[in-house]
Amino acid sequence: MLSRQMLGLLSTLWLIAATKTADFETSEAGNPFVDGWYADPDTQFYNGAYWVYPTSSLPYDDQTYLDAFSSKDLVHWTKHSSILTTADFTWAHRAVWAPAPIYRNGTYYLYFGANDIQTDSELGGIGVGVADKPEGPYTDPLGKPLIGAYHNGAQPIDQDVFIDDDGQAYIYYGGHSHANVAKLNDDMISLGTFDDGTMFKEITPENYVEGSQMVKRNGIYYLFWSEGGWTGPDYAVSYGMSSSPLGPFDRIAKILQQDEAVATGSGHNAVIQVPDTDIFFILYHRHPLGSTDGNDRHLAYDRLYFNDDGTIQTVKMLVHDNFEDGNTIGWQTYGGDWSAETNALRGSASSSSNALLNTNFANFTYEADVKLLTRGGSHRDSTAGLIFRVSGTSNDTTSFQGYYAGISTAGTLFLSRSNGSQSTTLGSTKADIKPAQRYRLKVMANGSSIRVAINSKTPAVIAVTDDAYANGMDGVRVFKAQAEFDNVNITRLTSN
Ligand SMILES: *[C@@H]1O[C@H](CO)[C@@H](O)[C@H](O)[C@H]1NC(C)=O
Ligand SMILES: *[C@@H]1O[C@H](CO)[C@@H](O)[C@H](O)[C@H]1NC(C)=O
Ligand SMILES: *[C@@H]1O[C@H](CO)[C@@H](O)[C@H](O)[C@H]1NC(C)=O
Ligand SMILES: *[C@@H]1O[C@H](CO)[C@@H](O)[C@H](O)[C@H]1NC(C)=O
Ligand SMILES: *[C@@H]1O[C@H](CO)[C@@H](O)[C@H](O)[C@H]1NC(C)=O
Ligand SMILES: *[C@@H]1O[C@H](CO)[C@@H](O)[C@H](O)[C@H]1NC(C)=O
């Protein structure tokens, strides 16, 4: 039996764990945070969990269902498949888009666009599903769309639903570069009217394309929207502020856009607030660098910071991975065996093997923990470490082009350069490396200046000048070794 003190300690530890706040710089376990092609995410906090509802990013005719994801900590995600399908909505048959979740009086509502209508003679528009659980199944209370026609030029898609502090619900929506707001009655499945008798007010801000999102903070109404084309690299998020839920929403700034080192087409956002805190994240989709398929969209979140005057700072898409989610989503491995089941990235190879992120940094600081699990002795040349400015990788893992900063069982810290067939040592220094010990390796690259440092008992530094490779992917590498990597953090140098 457990002693009373032991039980006391356990319940204290449990409380600390349960109340641990998601005060992250970004998705610390890595973006994309879930696997698969998804877009247009929206979110709610239901019964102690964050829920994310995205579009299934597929050809329009295959967009007949919605999946959802839930998480208690924004790190470990559970997938809920087919929470809403067109089989339960007689009028909807394709292009099910941008689900908007909300809860009221015992019922979970999920609003969505369907059929991608181009004229009022077509059947389709914004529908609503109801369920008694966040994970559905969502069924059709109306038997028809809630908004089934164009008003003020707005295509009936891309809705967000918001309930103000006074209990009045609003639906913000619109595609084809027009945005409307309408009132929802308390039943949440019928539209109300404004004082002047109209039902739809146009609130289109400058540059608006689609993807309305309403957030209220400190009495200020924030309208977010997307600009640019969703299949291309320029898709982006801007916002406006108002003291009224009906606007006007003058465009203040673009706050999220592509980053040539991280991802393109970052757009169609929602906002996560950690309950009872002033911690916010922007939730969005983006394309991997170099991807040409418009549907190749993935879910990501990053921190959203407000200034003292209520305006919003430009979002930085950060590159972190602490593997706490136990998966390697976002990593492409070449050869060897790789797994993150131990909540660290463990790789082993009898010859050599790489795991790479689809990034393209030029000037950066790249830090990660590296632990060699292979002993010295007969494997005195086993190595593990960080590779950067990498191009030309294939399953023939000996032939990568780029730089390799690593530690060896022979007890050295080194920096080498590989041109695809031959490796050249650029620097090497004694570094008191012990097996099964964790070292923080740090690479600072600025143009042709490359520095490598390690926090061993006798700190070692290598500094070289080399201009063979200016930019490329980042990753980790094992050579005749088993090694573990953790707490990956890559940040662009900001001074240039
Ligand atoms: C809440 O739902 C109950 C049962 O469906 C209904 O009787 C009640 O009128 C609703 N309350 C409000 C405020 O809409
Ligand atoms: C590497 O091998 C995997 C399976 O072994 C294969 O799916 C993938 O296409 C290969 N990649 C390259 C770049 O050859
Ligand atoms: C790599 O470098 C070696 C030695 O300098 C050279 O012989 C070889 O041609 C180079 N290979 C490529 C692909 O550039
Ligand atoms: C990077 O190098 C440039 C000169 O090439 C220098 O002006 C700049 O300060 C350096 N940045 C950092 C962060 O060291
Ligand atoms: C990287 O830094 C070098 C030297 O400071 C500079 O010349 C180059 O333009 C930078 N590259 C990028 C992509 O910022
Ligand atoms: C990531 O690296 C940057 C730049 O070195 C640093 O400012 C930041 O605190 C680091 N974040 C974490 C979580 O280690």
pLDDT tens for residues 388-423?
999 976 656 567 899 999 999 999 999 999 998 899
**Model confidence at 58: pLDDT above 90:** yes
**Model confidence at 99: pLDDT above 80:** yes
Tell whether 101 and 249 lie within a shared domain.
yes
Query: Could you say which of 263, 289, 317 is where a domain stops?
Result: 317
**Model confidence at 458: pLDDT above 80:** no
Ligand nearest to the CA of 130: 1
| Gap from CA of 395 to ligand 2 centroid (Å) | 6
Contact in structure between 447 and 453 (CB atoms under 8 Å): no
Per the model's pLDDT, the better-predicted residue between 397 and 68 turns out to be 68
Which of 354, 394, 395, 400 to mutate to test ligand 2, by most ligand atoms within 8 A of the CB atom? 395
| Gap from CA of 171 to ligand 6 centroid (Å) | 39
Ligand 3: residues whose CB is within 6 Å? Answer: 419-422
Tell whether 139 and 72 lie within a shared domain.
yes
Say which CATH number the domain at 95 has. 2.115.10.20
Tell whether 304 and 167 lie within a shared domain.
yes
Tell whether 285 and 359 lie within a shared domain.
no
Which of 363, 446, 451 to mutate to test ligand 4, by most ligand atoms within 8 A of the CB atom? 446
**Model confidence at 4: pLDDT above 70:** no
**Model confidence at 379: pLDDT above 90:** no
| Gap from CA of 104 to ligand 1 centroid (Å) | 9
Closest CA to 471 of 259, 249, 158, 277: 259
Tell whether 301 and 354 lie within a shared domain.
no
Residues marked active site are found at: 40, 210
Specify if 6 maps to a domain. Answer: no
Q: Which amino acid appears at position 166 of this protein?
A: D
The pTM assigned to this predicted structure is: 0.93
Tell whether 302 and 435 lie within a shared domain.
no
**Model confidence at 205: pLDDT above 60:** yes
Structure tokens at 30: 């890595």
Ligand nearest to the CA of 394: 2
Q: Pick the atom of ligand 1 nearest to 187's CA.
A: 14
Determine whether the shortest distance from the Cβ of 493 to ligand 6 is under 6 A: no
Residues 6+ apart with CB under 8 A from 66: 53, 54, 55, 56, 82, 83, 84, 85, 96, 99, 110, 112
The residue behind tokens 């898409």 is 317
Specify if 305 maps to a domain. Answer: yes
Which of 259, 260, 363 to mutate to test ligand 5, by most ligand atoms within 8 A of the CB atom? 363
Tell whether 118 and 236 lie within a shared domain.
yes
Question: Is residue 310 very low, low, confident or very high in pLDDT (cuts 50, 70, 90)?
Answer: very high
Other Cβ atoms closer than 10 A to 273: 16
Specify if 7 maps to a domain. Answer: no
Longest distance between any two alpha carbons in the chain, whole Å:
85
Task: Please report the pLDDT score of residue 20 as a whole number.
Answer: 66
Structure tokens at 414: 């080194």
**Model confidence at 70: pLDDT above 60:** yes
Q: Pick the atom of ligand 6 nearest to 365's CA.
A: 5
Question: Is residue 320 very low, low, confident or very high in pLDDT (cuts 50, 70, 90)?
Answer: very high
Structure tokens at 107: 């019922």
| Gap from CA of 448 to ligand 4 centroid (Å) | 10
Specify if 326 maps to a domain. Answer: no
Backbone angles phi, psi at 4, to 5 degrees: -60, -40
Question: Is residue 375 very low, low, confident or very high in pLDDT (cuts 50, 70, 90)?
Answer: confident
Per the model's pLDDT, the better-predicted residue between 19 and 103 turns out to be 103
Task: Please report the pLDDT score of residue 459 as a whole number.
Answer: 77
| Gap from CA of 412 to ligand 4 centroid (Å) | 28
Task: Please report the pLDDT score of residue 286 as a whole number.
Answer: 98
Question: Which residue, by CA, sits nearest to atom 12 of ligand 5?
Answer: 362
Question: Is residue 6 very low, low, confident or very high in pLDDT (cuts 50, 70, 90)?
Answer: low
Task: Please report the pLDDT score of residue 432 as a whole number.
Answer: 86
Specify if 58 maps to a domain. Answer: yes
**Model confidence at 1: pLDDT above 50:** no
**Model confidence at 442: pLDDT above 90:** yes
Tell whether 209 and 273 lie within a shared domain.
yes
Q: Which amino acid appears at position 215 of this protein?
A: V
Determine whether the shortest distance from the Cβ of 491 to ligand 4 is under 6 A: no
Q: What is the mean pLDDT of residues 179-190?
A: 98
Question: Is residue 15 very low, low, confident or very high in pLDDT (cuts 50, 70, 90)?
Answer: very low
Determine whether the shortest distance from the Cβ of 446 to ligand 5 is under 6 A: yes
Specify if 235 maps to a domain. Answer: yes
Percent with pLDDT over 90 in the chain: 88
Say which CATH number the domain at 481 has. 2.60.120.560
Q: Pick the atom of ligand 6 nearest to 367's CA.
A: 2
Ligand nearest to the CA of 361: 5
The H or E element that residue 19 is part of is helix 4-19
H helices of 172-247, where?
Answer: none
Q: Rounded distance, CA 345 to CA 82, Å?
A: 31
For residue 183, list its beta bridge partners. 170
Query: Could you say which of 285, 317, 349 is where a domain stops?
Result: 317
Determine whether the shortest distance from the Cβ of 491 to ligand 6 is under 6 A: yes
Tell whether 447 and 339 lie within a shared domain.
yes
Model confidence pLDDT, tens digit, residues 445-457: 999 999 999 987 7
Specify if 164 maps to a domain. Answer: yes
Instruction: Look at 20-29, 122-131, 198-207 and tell me which has the smallest mean pLDDT.
Output: 20-29
What is the dihedral angle through the alpha carbons of 466, 468, 473, 476, rounded to the nearest 10 degrees? -60
Q: Pick the atom of ligand 4 nearest to 494's CA.
A: 13
Residues 6+ apart with CB under 8 A from 267: 211, 226, 227, 228, 230, 235, 236, 237, 256, 284, 285, 286
Specify if 257 maps to a domain. Answer: yes
**Model confidence at 5: pLDDT above 70:** no
Q: Rounded distance, CA 319 to CA 308, Å?
A: 26
Q: Pick the atom of ligand 3 nearest to 419's CA.
A: 1
Determine whether the shortest distance from the Cβ of 260 to ligand 5 is under 6 A: no
Other Cβ atoms closer than 10 A to 74: 21
Contact in structure between 222 and 200 (CB atoms under 8 Å): no
Q: Rounded distance, CA 182 to CA 214, Å?
A: 13
Question: Which residue, by CA, sits nearest to atom 5 of ligand 6?
Answer: 365
Instruction: Look at 36-45, 56-65, 227-236, 426-435 and tell me which has the smallest mean pLDDT.
Output: 426-435
Model confidence pLDDT, tens digit, residues 217-248: 999 999 999 999 999 999 999 999 999 999 99
Percent with pLDDT over 70 in the chain: 94
Number of domains comprising the chain: 2
Determine whether the shortest distance from the Cβ of 495 to ligand 4 is under 6 A: yes
Which of 416, 417, 419 to mutate to test ligand 3, by most ligand atoms within 8 A of the CB atom? 419
Query: Could you say which of 264, 282, 317 is where a domain stops?
Result: 317
**Model confidence at 381: pLDDT above 50:** yes
Tell whether 310 and 349 lie within a shared domain.
no
**Model confidence at 380: pLDDT above 80:** no
Tell whether 346 and 291 lie within a shared domain.
no
Q: Pick the atom of ligand 5 nearest to 363's CA.
A: 1
**Model confidence at 496: pLDDT above 50:** no
**Model confidence at 207: pLDDT above 70:** yes
Question: Which residue, by CA, sits nearest to atom 6 of ligand 6?
Answer: 491
Task: Please report the pLDDT score of residue 11 as a whole number.
Answer: 54
Per the model's pLDDT, the better-predicted residue between 399 and 312 turns out to be 312
Average pLDDT, the chain: 94
Other Cβ atoms closer than 10 A to 414: 21
Domain encompassing residue 460:
331-492
Tell whether 242 and 388 lie within a shared domain.
no
Report the chain's C-alpha Rg in angstroms.
Answer: 25
H helices of 335-422, where?
Answer: none
Per the model's pLDDT, the better-predicted residue between 197 and 351 turns out to be 197
